[in-house]
């Protein structure tokens, strides 16, 4: 030690004392310091009681009770109707517990309480609607359909076990295997919930059920020893340095678990999905489900973090599409592309020599190398973005989306690092269709998912020193996705596209994509658009490959309202920055703004504004 402050101590100080006070002009000290409120223990109690109902959220975040064979790591979430009812009752109980806490003399504690209350409130907005699944620690709000092509226990549970759940000790491996061997009971609970949802009148869209079948089929075929779960277990145990005989026994037991537990459970689930198809809905929007308008309104509030009505969001999207399209048209003309729609011209630009990576293993490896280099270059520019004390040291891995789940997965997404630093952040990129990922799209995707986007925000949040656990794992869709889209624009403002006009067009195409989301999400769920109309609108407006557009539209069908957070959050952040810059003038410090936005973890945009306006 050199007598200086460690990074974790620095982040803890930033969180506890308030980044605004540290990074702007110091305020006069109060005559008598006020002791901090003792809310840490009550908040930890609230968090522990809630996570007991969603153990896979705990395991995903590597909370202490899930590490080294901890009890939460052994469990699937309880998807039964009784389990869902108990979960919703727990949210109501903890809302009452939080309402009884008060801390008017401690600004940091007050902020933490406000964030915790907002998390629980988001989980209760649509509590009266019995079907589907709600989890305010996630980013998809109240999901009306438990099993789809993009999410659900058949995808999420194996995904946690594949990369997030620790297998670094004999006890952890034993717990991992116990969880796998519990799939028969766990997935019987999933089927029970699907039947209860049908009894409540919920009939998922046929397109989503049909796309779910290949996802299940991917786990039902092939040698059990070659299943991704078994391969991952073997690789991660070896990396952890576990004994060879333990690894050999564990791999054999895991292969038996695939054959005897996972596959029979998935086969039963597949039969249930097939049985649901004759009654499945043709309508794409959640409006067609019982109380669908109310569910969508709740998700718009929670995931879009807005009081705007869906019709107003739709109009905003149309205006943003027009603005960005005009900007792209000017740049495309400079590229010599003057004829056809912006979407058609972007498609042509993406097919130019040098823009496509080969549709081969070598081509995919070259693409991943290109993306990793883009991340490294931006990491080198962290001092332009953040104060030194807040620059993340958590590593970022860039990996291909697993082949077994790539068909329904988005083009790119991010998984955060473990709270204890044992697992890096991971930026996943979907390489199912190489034509859909031209070179011009990759820099901005990397700035969104990686640096300075999701990885930067998530790494800072998980390292918030003494902040309560509920703050470090908080999820607010408009904040997080809004920051990701803000980060794309920030990279452009930093000059990364000064000599790369196609790359800048790729950035604008992605921003246009997010503006189009405002139009098609509200179109599907509020204005009764059908799936075909939504696909055609997005394809024609953006010029993005058809395979990606279809996957995206079906994602919005499965997650009503989630796609609104990107543009709504970005616009709110840009508005806040503009207001602060106008007030500060030459004293405006972009790094201080970023520190204030990121330095307290994820939160509702109203709280972000409150903190920014204190600068």
Q: Quick check: 14 pLDDT over 60?
A: no
pLDDT tens track for 363-399: 999 999 999 999 999 999 999 999 999 999 888 999 9
pLDDT band at 35, cuts 50/70/90?
low
What is the pLDDT at residue 417? 84
Q: Are 494 and 380 in contact (CB under 8 A)?
A: no
Collapse the DSSP code of 205 into the 3-class scheme (helix H, G, I; strand E, B; otherwise coil) and give the result: strand
pLDDT in tens, 448-501: 999 999 999 999 998 887 789 999 999 999 999 999 999 999 999 999 999 999
- DSSP code of 425? E
DSSP state of 434: G
Number of other CB atoms surrounding residue 258 within 10 Å: 23
Residues with Cβ within 8 Å of 582's Cβ and at least 6 positions away in sequence, in order, are: none
How many contiguous H segments (helices) and E segments (strands) does the chain have?
A: 27, 5
* 494 phi, psi to nearest 5 deg: -85, 0
How far from 55 is each of 182, 227, 282, 295, CA to CA, in Å?
Answer: 14, 24, 35, 25
Residue 30 has pLDDT above 70, yes or no: no
Q: Which residues contact 450 (CB under 8 A, 6 or more apart)?
A: 375, 378, 396, 398, 414, 425, 427, 456
Sign, Cα dihedral of 449, 455, 457, 461:
positive
Task: Report yes or no: 166 and 62 within 8 Å, Cβ to Cβ.
Answer: yes
Residue 131 CA to residue 194 CA, distance in Å, equals 8
**Cβ contact 438:356 at 8 Å:** yes
Mean pLDDT score, 20-33: 41
First to last CA, the chain: 33
Average of per-residue pLDDT across 115-135: 97
Residue 2: per-residue pLDDT: 43
> CB–CB of 105/37 below 8 Å?
yes
pLDDT(41) > 60: yes
Question: Torsion-angle region of residue 400: left (phi > 0), alpha (psi -120 to 50) or beta?
Answer: beta
pLDDT digit string (tens) for 173-214?
A: 999 999 999 999 999 999 999 999 999 999 999 999 999 999
The pLDDT value given to residue 25: 35
Q: 67-98: per-residue pLDDT in tens? A: 989 999 999 999 999 999 999 999 999 999 99
Of the candidates 155, 151, 179, the one whose C-alpha atom is nearest the C-alpha of residue 165 is 179
444, 503 in Cβ contact below 8 A?
A: yes
Instruction: Inform me whether the pLDDT recorded for 17 exceeds 90.
Output: no
Please give the pLDDT value at position 407: 77
How many Å is the Cα radius of gyration of the chain? 24
Q: How confident is the model at residue 405 (pLDDT cuts 50, 70, 90)?
A: confident
Beta strands at 396-400 and 133-134: parallel, antiparallel or unpaired = unpaired
String of DSSP letters for 324-379: HHHHHHHHHHHTT--SS-HHHHHHHHHTSTTT---SSHHHHHHHHHHHHHHHHHHH
CB atoms inside a 10 Å sphere around CB 60: 22
**CA-based nearest residue to 483, from 513, 517, 459, 456:** 456
pLDDT value, residue 34: 53
Q: Is the pLDDT of residue 1 over 90?
A: no
Q: What is the average pLDDT score of the chain?
A: 92
pLDDT at 33 over 70: no
Strands (E), 153-263: none
Any idea what DSSP says for residue 26? P
Q: What pLDDT, on the 0 to 100 scale, is given for residue 3? A: 41
6 C-beta neighbours (distance < 10 Å), count:
11
pLDDT of residue 412: 87
DSSP-derived letter for residue 564 is G
- Are 411 and 436 spatial neighbours (Cβ–Cβ below 8 Å)? yes
Strand order in the sheet with 425-429: 396-400, 425-429, 412-415
- Cα 498 from Cα 232, distance rounded (Å): 41
Q: What's the pLDDT at 325?
A: 97
pLDDT in tens, 561-612: 999 999 999 999 999 999 999 999 999 999 999 999 999 999 999 999 999 9
Strand partners, 414: 427
Give the Cα separation of 425 and 254 in Å (integer): 26
Q: Which two tokens stand for residue 349?
A: 């630009």
Distances from the Cα of 362 to the Cα of 250, 358, 399, angstroms: 33, 7, 15
* Least confident residue range of 14-18, 37-41, 167-171: 14-18
**Are the CB atoms for 570 and 485 separated by under 8 Å?**
yes
Task: For residue 247, give both structure tokens.
Answer: 């690894």
Residue 5 has pLDDT above 60, yes or no: no
- DSSP per residue, 90-138: HHHHHHHHHHT---TT-HHHHHHHHHHHHHHHHHHTTTT--SSEE-TTS
Name which residue leads in pLDDT, 208 or 19: 208
Q: Are 538 and 520 in contact (CB under 8 A)?
A: yes
Q: CA 477, CA 570: separation in Å to the nearest integer?
A: 11
């Amino acid at each position: 030690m050199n007598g200086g402050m460690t990074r974790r101590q620095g982040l803890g100080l930033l969180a506890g004392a308030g980044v605004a006070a540290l990074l702007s002009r110091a305020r006069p000290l109060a005559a008598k310091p006020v002791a901090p409120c003792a809310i840490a223990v009550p908040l930890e109690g609230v968090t522990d009681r809630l996570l007991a109902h969603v153990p896979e959220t705990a395991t995903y975040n590597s909370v202490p009770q899930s590490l080294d064979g901890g009890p939460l790591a052994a469990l699937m979430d309880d998807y039964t109707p009784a389990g869902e009812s108990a979960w919703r009752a727990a949210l109501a109980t903890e809302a009452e517990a939080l309402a009884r806490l008060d801390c008017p003399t401690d600004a940091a504690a007050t902020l933490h309480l406000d964030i915790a209350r907002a998390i629980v409130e988001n989980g209760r907005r649509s509590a009266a609607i019995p079907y589907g699944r709600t989890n305010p620690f996630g980013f998809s709000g109240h999901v009306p359909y438990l099993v789809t092509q993009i999410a659900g226990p058949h995808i999420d549970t194996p995904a946690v076990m594949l990369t997030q759940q620790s297998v670094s000790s004999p006890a952890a491996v034993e717990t991992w295997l116990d969880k796998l061997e519990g799939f028969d009971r766990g997935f019987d609970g999933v089927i029970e919930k699907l039947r209860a949802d049908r009894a409540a009148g919920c009939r998922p869209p046929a397109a989503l059920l049909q796309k779910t079948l290949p996802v299940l089929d991917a786990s039902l075929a092939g040698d059990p020893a070659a299943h991704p779960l078994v391969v991952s277990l073997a690789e991660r145990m070896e990396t952890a340095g576990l004994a060879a005989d333990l690894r050999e026994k564990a791999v054999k037991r895991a292969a038996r678990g695939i054959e005897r537990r996972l596959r029979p459970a998935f086969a039963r689930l597949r039969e249930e999905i097939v049985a649901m198809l004759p009654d499945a809905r043709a309508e794409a929007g959640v409006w067609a489900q019982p109380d669908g308008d109310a569910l969508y309104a709740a998700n718009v509030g929670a995931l879009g973090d807005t009081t705007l009505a869906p019709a107003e969001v739709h109009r905003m999207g149309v205006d943003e599409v027009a603005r960005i399209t005009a900007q792209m048209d000017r740049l495309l003309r400079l590229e010599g592309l003057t004829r056809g729609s912006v979407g058609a011209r972007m498609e042509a630009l993406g097919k130019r020599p040098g823009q496509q990576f080969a549709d081969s293993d070598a081509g995919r490896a070259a693409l991943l190398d290109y993306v990793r280099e883009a991340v490294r270059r931006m990491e080198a520019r962290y001092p332009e973005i953040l104060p030194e004390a807040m620059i993340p040291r958590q590593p970022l891995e860039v990996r291909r989306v697993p082949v077994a789940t790539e068909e329904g997965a988005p083009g790119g997404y991010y998984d955060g690092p473990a709270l204890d630093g044992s697992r890096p952040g991971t930026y996943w990129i979907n390489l199912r269709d190489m034509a859909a990922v031209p070179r011009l799209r990759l820099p901005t995707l990397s700035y969104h998912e990686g640096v300075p986007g999701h990885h930067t925000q998530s790494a800072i949040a998980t390292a918030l020193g003494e902040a309560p656990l509920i703050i470090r794992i908080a999820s607010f869709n408009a904040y997080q996705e809004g920051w990701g889209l803000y980060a794309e624009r920030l990279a452009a403002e930093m000059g990364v596209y000064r000599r790369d006009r196609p790359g800048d067009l790729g950035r604008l195409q992605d921003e246009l994509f997010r503006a189009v989301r405002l139009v098609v999400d509200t179109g599907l769920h509020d204005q009764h658009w059908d799936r075909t109309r939504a696909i055609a609108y997005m394809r024609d407006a953006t010029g993005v490959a058809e395979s990606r557009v279809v996957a995206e539209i079906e994602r919005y069908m499965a997650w009503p309202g989630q796609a609104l957070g990107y543009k709504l959050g970005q616009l709110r952040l840009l508005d806040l920055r503009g207001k602060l810059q106008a007030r500060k003038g030459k004293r405006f410090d972009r790094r201080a703004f970023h520190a204030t936005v990121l330095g307290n973890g994820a939160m509702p945009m109203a709280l972000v504004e409150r903190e920014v306006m204190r600068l």
